[in-house]
Amino acid sequence: MSVDQVTAPTEHPAYREFAELVGAVIAPRAVEVDATEVPRSHLDALREIGYFAWSVPQEHGGTRIPAAVKNAADDLLFGADPSTALALTQHGGPVGQILKSTSPQALALLPKLAAGERIGGAGFAQIRQWPHRPSTIARRVPGGYRIDGVVRWLSGWGFVDTAWLGAVDEQNSTYVFGVGDLTAPGVEAVPLRLAAVQGSRTVTLTLRDYLLPDEYVTEVVDIAAWNALDGSVHPNERGKPVGEKDPQLPSIGAIGLARAALIDALTAHPGDPSLIRLREELEHAAITPRPEPQWRAQLDALAVRATAAGLVASGGQGLLTDNIAQVRARAALFLQVRGLSPRVRAARFEQYVN
């Protein structure tokens, strides 16, 4: 039997190696990282086991890893160290965009992303607020687009140098997406002070006359058409909608946070029937897809409940700054504001009244 035929993602050799690294290197420093920043040694350790190659197809220098295995690994990382997870699990964002391109220059980035020589991130959420709030604005110029404006949220700053960027071309009523080099001129970063995942190296970027060359423009799409789908489908690390060829997978973060919190809670209070029921509810929801974004909202709400249970299980000790329970509980609140398209926001509101 090949490793790709292993039924349980957690039995895959790549997952096992990843889990060993997380347990030995990353989890023990999670509270420290939450209060400071993801250290370069974490990046180096993940690079050493080939983690960044998982997001890149084999024909472009990557490693063939089933999507379910990568999802399980990223969830494990979220439960162990939410800040490191947020900083580095968006590596596949620009990969998916590049795979939509036929540009040799863009495709040439894939082996470097696979090797971890370049680190991917995402900076396009600001377009969801347009026209109600300012966004990044794209102007067509010879050879590409000039972009001005603010990318409100980019995680992994100091590591991420290759980002999936989005901007609004107001003149043509389109969104412009591409893969940006954050080391190029016209990029200024200001660190954000966050109440959760503070160690994730999250910044606001200001782009001034930033050039996105045609070779790195991956999509120009009608605004109304893109908005109609935003929140109902989401790309996986291969750049195609989940469910197109791979089984539908849950968005990462919620399951990992909830599982980690419930493991600790049940260790402290073994056999508690309420905790057992909550764990059963989580595991059932994890393998029972619903239409997006309702599935995402359901799992994120379970993460809030499970991490709150983790706090209760810890008692007052859980609120101490050196306790992982409060780190996870705050990270679960972060999930509530991640990817807030109108569809996602409505699905979250619905969870609160049901």
Q: What is the tens place of the pLDDT at every residue in 50-102?
A: 999 999 999 999 999 999 999 999 999 999 999 999 999 999 999 999 999 88
Tokens coding 1: 């039997």
Tokens coding 69: 């295995």
In this structure, the number of other CB atoms found within 10 A of the CB of residue 240 comes to 15
Q: Does position 1 have pLDDT exceeding 60, yes or no?
A: no
Residues 6+ positions from 60 with CB-CB distance below 8 Å: 107, 110, 111, 114
| Domain locations along the chain | 3-115, 120-222, 254-353
3-state class percentages of the chain: helix first, strand second, coil last, to nearest 5 = 55, 20, 30
Tell me which architecture the domain covering 3-115 has in CATH: Orthogonal Bundle (1.10)
CA angle 105, 111, 114 (to 5 degrees): 135
Q: What is the CATH T-level fold of the domain 254-353, as seen in this structure?
A: Butyryl-CoA Dehydrogenase, subunit A; domain 3 (1.20.140)
Q: Does position 247 have pLDDT exceeding 70, yes or no?
A: no
**Exposed (0-12), middle (13-18) or buried (19+): which is 281, by Cβ within 10 Å?**
middle
Enumerate the β-bridge partners of residue 66. none
* pLDDT band at residue 353 under the 50/70/90 scheme: confident
Specify whether domain 120-222 bears CATH 3.40.190.10: no
Same fold: 120-222 with 254-353: no
